[in-house]
């Protein structure tokens, strides 16, 4: 990173700049993928398996093809390229290959004149099935070796013992990302055998790689364009309808649009892995961790998706942000006939944090220490070895500062209120307010930043000066997190220029920016923008003999020496950068090595009111202290923290996909409950700034942290109010009343 003195500029880093996409989104003028259309376009629809596991004995598409307005019906036989796809392992058929391996697996796709005709045509296809017994028990899958990846972590002395021991078994349910915008895609054939594809995606270049393989096309024949997304949280990391809509457009020679409805969205994207975890924590009498032993099983469902990376994260972060010299971890992610699981905010760490932080509370109680004091005594700091992999912590990791900042936030006293909406259960409360019990709970979470285990993680960006101002060219995906704003702020600060616009480029115009996941884009694409802006600035100043760049041109000692038009007299001037984070390496056989590029830590305190008679809970507030490296946009950080806490709260007390025999029983927002504004707790935020070693201006990514430790903090508060052990999330009323 540059050491040059940076100019002061409006809308630079450290200020809470408004989002350029804010107004069009709140006024309904933003173009999401589902809004795209063209005259004469067709609509696509999908026929799906009604069984979690079954053999397809007959498939007759004739009734659909005979319908007026139907232009194409495609099956696996129509896949001209690779019949399989997958982000990590190509193990999933484009359309059912004769065996359905999960409920809702795509069997055939239809293109018709309008959406209703397409859906009726899909329903008219005759599919005859021979049901098979589904493998829906993850422990049974582990026993028979139906696995995607097994993790073994051994560090220190396996025979070490502590004088204080606590054990526990924990479970987490299946959570859906529940993005408000469903999956959508729009494919436009170019008349030359290729097409332009506008899709909901978190990584268009990885989508592009899978799409061209299945279509048997050259890279330049398919151009994948980022499209407006109504939320992601991991659900857009994997292919859903992308290949299907492209196949239909090529088969018909016409533009085709596909949009899932809500129920189809629930089966059309991956979920958070449900988990079963056993833990044993051992400490000395002063509360110093001696050994942590754990066994973790995550259910990956029918296909691999990102499960191998998710189980790695769960295993590596199974001890949390604490020192521990002796660790024994066995973790496995299994293949079943349950709905496929994959990326969701927190990426395996959410499950492990719930279990390990519950253990830390049990350990604190057994020793007689306050919950935060136990955590403070064991807190990781720079220079310490990471508990599982043994790598020495580099850069910043202000664990103690985060804990201290959280503890400094005052805890509110119970405030009597006649407003029934502020009671557990809202207007449904029948218990007297005097019977409501208040509880307080804490949790601390640790997460890696960007991709790990030796992955070649990079992001490309191009910064261009034109007579109209600065353009940032990128394929990085804005999923609502505010990446556009941060990239503009970085460029403004480096260049000293106010007029900065972000221009998205398709896969044929710029290299990959990597995935909008793993809390990586602020550091990775932000880092690429920073370095490209530095390169552009230095190039222009050197060519024109100046010492400062402003909106109107190059200055030297306060005098204008070259206007923007003069700088761009031979065309736009640009600098293109491929940015990489510090190198990481795959783990050895014992899970040891330099595996992660960096870490981020956060802490949460939850205050809850509980009606112990009815088992109703109201989350009153969730306060947080967050390690950010450097705050590039404070308001955007607070927005991320508030949103992440809402997802963590949902997982703690209400969100669960009910899966019975591999079948999702509640694939609607009527039955799958997510928090609304009426459920939103008050939030007070403490931002901890200790510049990190490789992000732009010392910044860290923070998008996943608020979801990781908010869930166990809320459950800890419910435990404090009820005295119940509460070892499974979400916590249901029956768990509280003991029915």
The reported pLDDT for the residue numbered 7 is: 62
Element containing residue 44 per DSSP (H, E): strand 42-48
State both tokens at 663.
């079948």
Which of these, 147, 129, 130, lies nearest to 138 by C-alpha position? 147
680 C-beta neighbours (distance < 10 Å), count? 16
Q: Compute CA distances 395 → 506, 578, 691, 734, whole Å.
A: 34, 22, 8, 45
Residue 415 has pLDDT above 90, yes or no: no
CA 21 to chain centre: 21
At 554-594, the pLDDT tens digits run 999 999 999 999 999 999 999 999 999 999 999 999 999 99
The reported pLDDT for the residue numbered 3 is: 39
Q: Is 436 helix (H, G, I), strand (E, B) or coil?
A: coil
Domain extents in the chain: 22-29+458-580, 33-133+182-228+236-268, 275-410+441-451+588-730
Query: HSE of 503 in the Cβ direction (CA atoms, 13 Å)?
Result: 16
Mean pLDDT estimate for the chain: 96
Reported in sequence order, the residue ranges of 372-467 that DSSP labels E, i.e. its strands, are 437-448, 458-466
At 608-630, the pLDDT tens digits run 999 999 999 999 999 999 999 99
DSSP state of 583: P
Residue 634 has pLDDT above 80, yes or no: yes
At 448-464, the pLDDT tens digits run 999 999 999 999 999 99
Q: Which fold has domain 33-133+182-228+236-268?
A: Aldehyde Oxidoreductase; domain 3 (3.90.1170)
At 331-362, the pLDDT tens digits run 999 999 999 999 999 999 999 999 999 999 99
Contacts of 286 (CB under 8 A, 6+ apart): 367, 377
Residue 416 has pLDDT above 80, yes or no: no
Residue 23 has pLDDT above 80, yes or no: yes
| Of the listed ranges 65-79, 277-291, 423-437, the one predicted with least confidence | 423-437
The reported pLDDT for the residue numbered 1 is: 36
Distance (Å, rounded) from C-alpha 618 to C-alpha 721?
12
> Exposed, middle or buried: residue 408 (CB in 10 Å: 0-12, 13-18, 19+)?
exposed
At 374-395, the pLDDT tens digits run 999 999 999 999 999 999 999 9
At 161-218, the pLDDT tens digits run 999 999 999 999 999 999 999 999 999 999 999 999 999 999 999 999 999 999 999 9
For CA atoms 385, 391, 394, 397, give the dihedral sign: negative
At 30-41, the pLDDT tens digits run 999 999 999 999
What average pLDDT does the segment 129-156 reach? 98
In Å, the largest CA–CA distance within the chain is: 81
Does the domain made of 275-410+441-451+588-730 have the CATH classification 3.10.20.30? no
Q: Provide the β-strand partners of residue 292.
A: 281, 327
In the sheet with 222-226, reading across from the earlier edge strand, the strands are 70-74, 106-112, 42-48, 256-259, 184-189, 195-199, 222-226
Which of 3.40.190.10, 1.10.4080.10, 3.30.365.10, 2.30.250.10 would CATH assign to domain 22-29+458-580?
3.30.365.10
- Percent of the chain with pLDDT strictly greater than 90: 94
Residue 2 has pLDDT above 60, yes or no: no
Element containing residue 651 per DSSP (H, E): helix 634-653
Residue 234 has pLDDT above 70, yes or no: yes
At 50-95, the pLDDT tens digits run 999 999 999 999 999 999 999 999 999 999 999 999 999 999 999 9
- Radius of gyration of the chain from its Cα atoms, rounded to whole angstroms: 26
Q: Do domains 22-29+458-580 and 33-133+182-228+236-268 have the same CATH topology?
A: no
Distance (Å, rounded) from C-alpha 651 to C-alpha 175?
7
Residue 324 has pLDDT above 70, yes or no: yes
Which of these, 639, 637, 633, 626, lies nearest to 689 by C-alpha position? 626
The reported pLDDT for the residue numbered 492 is: 97
At 516-541, the pLDDT tens digits run 999 999 999 999 999 999 999 999 99
């Amino acid at each position: 990173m540059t050491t040059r003195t940076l100019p002061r500029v409006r809308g630079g880093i450290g200020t809470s700049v408004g989002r350029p996409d804010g107004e069009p989104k709140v006024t309904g003028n933003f173009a999401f993928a589902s809004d795209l259309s063209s005259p004469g376009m067709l609509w696509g629809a999908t026929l799906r398996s009604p069984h979690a596991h079954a053999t397809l004995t007959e498939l007759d598409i004739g009734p659909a093809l005979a319908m007026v307005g139907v232009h194409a019906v495609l099956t696996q036989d129509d896949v001209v390229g690779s019949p399989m796809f997958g982000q990590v392992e190509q193990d999933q058929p484009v359309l059912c290959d004769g065996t359905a391996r999960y409920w809702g697996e795509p069997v055939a796709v239809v293109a018709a004149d309008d959406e209703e005709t397409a859906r009726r045509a899909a329903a008219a296809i005759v599919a005859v099935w021979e049901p098979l017994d589904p493998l829906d028990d993850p422990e049974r899958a582990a026993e028979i070796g139906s696995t995607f990846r097994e993790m073994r972590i051994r560090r220190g002395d396996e025979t070490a013992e502590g004088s204080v021991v606590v054990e526990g078994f924990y479970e987490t349910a299946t959570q859906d990302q529940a993005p408000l915008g469903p999956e959508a895609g729009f494919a436009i054939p170019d008349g030359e055998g290729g097409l332009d594809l506008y899709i909901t995606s978190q990584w268009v270049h990885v989508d592009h790689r899978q799409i061209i393989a299945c279509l048997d096309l050259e890279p330049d024949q398919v151009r994948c364009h980022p499209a407006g997304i109504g939320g992601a949280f991991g659900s857009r990391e994997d292919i859903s309808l992308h290949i299907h809509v492209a196949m239909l457009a090529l088969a018909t020679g016409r533009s085709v649009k596909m949009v899932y409805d809500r129920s189809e969205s629930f089966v059309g994207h991956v979920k958070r892995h449900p988990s079963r975890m056993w833990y044993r924590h051992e400490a000395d009498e002063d509360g110093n961790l001696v050994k942590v032993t754990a066994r973790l099983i995550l259910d990956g469902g029918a296909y691999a998706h990102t499960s191998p990376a998710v189980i790695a994260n769960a295993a590596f972060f199974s001890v949390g942000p604490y020192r521990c010299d002796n660790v024994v971890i066995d973790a496995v992610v299994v293949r079943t006939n349950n709905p496929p699981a994959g990326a969701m905010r927190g990426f395996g760490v959410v499950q492990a944090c719930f279990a390990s932080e519950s253990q830390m509370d049990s350990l604190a109680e057994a020793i007689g220490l306050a919950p935060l004091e136990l955590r403070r005594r064991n807190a990781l700091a720079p220079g310490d070895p990471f508990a599982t992999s043994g790598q020495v912590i580099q850069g910043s990791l202000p664990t103690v500062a985060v804990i201290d900042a959280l503890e400094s936030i005052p805890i509110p006293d119970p405030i009597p209120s006649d407003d029934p909406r502020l009671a557990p259960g809202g207007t449904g409360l029948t218990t007297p307010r005097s019977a409501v019990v208040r509880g307080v709970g804490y949790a601390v979470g640790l997460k890696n930043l960007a991709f790990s285990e030796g992955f070649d993680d990079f992001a490309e960006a191009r910064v261009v000066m034109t007579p109209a101002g600065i353009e940032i060219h990128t394929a990085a995906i804005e999923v609502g997190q505010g990446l556009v704003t941060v990239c503009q702020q970085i460029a403004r600060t480096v260049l000293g220029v106010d007029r900065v616009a972000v221009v998205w480029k398709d896969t044929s115009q710029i290299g990959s920016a990597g995935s909008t996941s793993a809390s990586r884009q602020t550091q990775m694409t932000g880092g690429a923008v920073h370095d490209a802006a530095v390169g552009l600035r230095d190039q222009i100043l050197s060519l024109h003999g100046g010492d400062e760049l402003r909106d109107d041109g190059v200055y030297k000692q306060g005098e204008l020496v070259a206007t923007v038009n003069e700088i761009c007299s031979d065309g736009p001037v640009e600098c293109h950068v491929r940015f990489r984070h510090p190198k990481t390496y795959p783990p050895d056989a014992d899970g040891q090595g330099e595996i992660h590029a960096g870490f981020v830590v956060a802490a949460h305190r939850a205050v809850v009111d509980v009606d112990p008679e009815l088992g109703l809970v109201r989350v009153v507030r969730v306060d947080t202290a967050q390690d950010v490296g450097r705050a590039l946009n404070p308001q955007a950080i607070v927005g991320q923290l508030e949103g992440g806490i809402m997802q963590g709260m949902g997982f703690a007390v209400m969100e669960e996909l009910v899966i019975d025999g591999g079948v999702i029983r509640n694939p609607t927002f009527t039955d799958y409950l997510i928090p609304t504004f009426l459920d939103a707790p008050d939030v007070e935020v403490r931002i901890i700034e200790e510049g990190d070693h490789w992000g732009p201006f010392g910044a860290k990514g923070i998008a996943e942290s608020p979801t990781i430790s908010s869930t166990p903090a809320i459950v800890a508060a419910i435990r404090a109010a009820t005295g119940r052990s509460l070892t499974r999330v979400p916590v249901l009323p029956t768990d509280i009343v003991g029915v």
